[in-house]
Amino acid sequence: MKDWPYPRYVAHRGGGKLAPENTLAAMREGYAHGYRMVEFDVKLSADGVPFLLHDDTLDRTTDGAGRADTLPWAELSKLDAGSWHSAAYAGEPLPTLSAIARWALANGAACNIEIKPAPGVERDTGTAVARAARGLWRASRLPPLLSSFAEEALVAARAAVPELPRALLVDEVPPDWQARLARLECAALNADWRGLDAETVAAGHRSGYRVLTYTANDPQRVAQLAAWGVDAIITDALDVVRPA
């Protein structure tokens, strides 16, 4: 198994439940709680700017509405992405991938970039995010890990920037998961914690793959996953799951 340079404990969407997800404020919150790796979602604006947002639409986590990929970055940048969480974060903007990269590099934080394409632009998003990541982290010895549920996006990312490590995200571990990882040339499987067991983790390691999991929030369950040798545990519970 190749060396794995990433921390075991990862802050989900930057700050878990403690700050508005996928914002710079969230990254700072995760870092303040001792997390040295952050996970976040990246998609493309209408004019091709990689920025952070989980949903296909703006409604849940901003004061905008409708599909996020229909607006140019100049419009997206004006939205409030913090008020939905709490008044303390009112006015927090959506960040670009480049802004997160500058913060991460300045603070020595590792990044798991989930490629989160809007429907129909999987290939374009995978290509654009991978190329942006290559440029932004060019001088870093610790590259970001690219992950996605969208296999087409991973194929595009591999074609564009094959040297960046990739992980396949799954809700349930499929019977052919090792064959999928081999076909996509992924370094890791990232599965819902409820679908993982010790044998799956061991099988991945025997085959030379790393195993990640999301989103484990109970400290006892996190401890069990760590005992199984899970390589990275993504959590929302930053105030109760303490990174070792």
CA distance 187 to 113: 14
- Let me know if residue 2 belongs to a domain: no
Which residue's structure tokens are 């060019």? Answer: 138
Which residue's structure tokens are 């195993």? Answer: 211
Strand partners, 190: 169, 212
- Let me know if residue 31 belongs to a domain: yes
- Let me know if residue 241 belongs to a domain: no
- Let me know if residue 33 belongs to a domain: yes
Query: pLDDT tens for residues 14-48?
Result: 999 999 999 999 999 999 999 999 999 999 999 99
54 is known as an active-site residue: yes
12 is known as an active-site residue: yes
Question: How far from each other are the two terminal CA atoms of the chain, in whole angstroms?
Answer: 22
Strand partners, 44: 50
Give the residue numbers spanning the domain of 80: 9-235
Count of structural domains, the chain: 1
**What CATH number does the domain containing 144 carry?**
3.20.20.190
The single residue of 12, 33, 85, 205 carrying the catalytic annotation is 12
Residue 115's nearest CA partner among 51, 172, 43, 184 is: 43
Query: pLDDT tens for residues 97-138?
Result: 999 999 999 999 999 999 999 999 999 999 999 999 999 999
Which residue's structure tokens are 């790393």? Answer: 210
CA distance 117 to 221: 31
- 1 pLDDT higher than 70: no
- Let me know if residue 37 belongs to a domain: yes
CA distance 21 to 8: 20
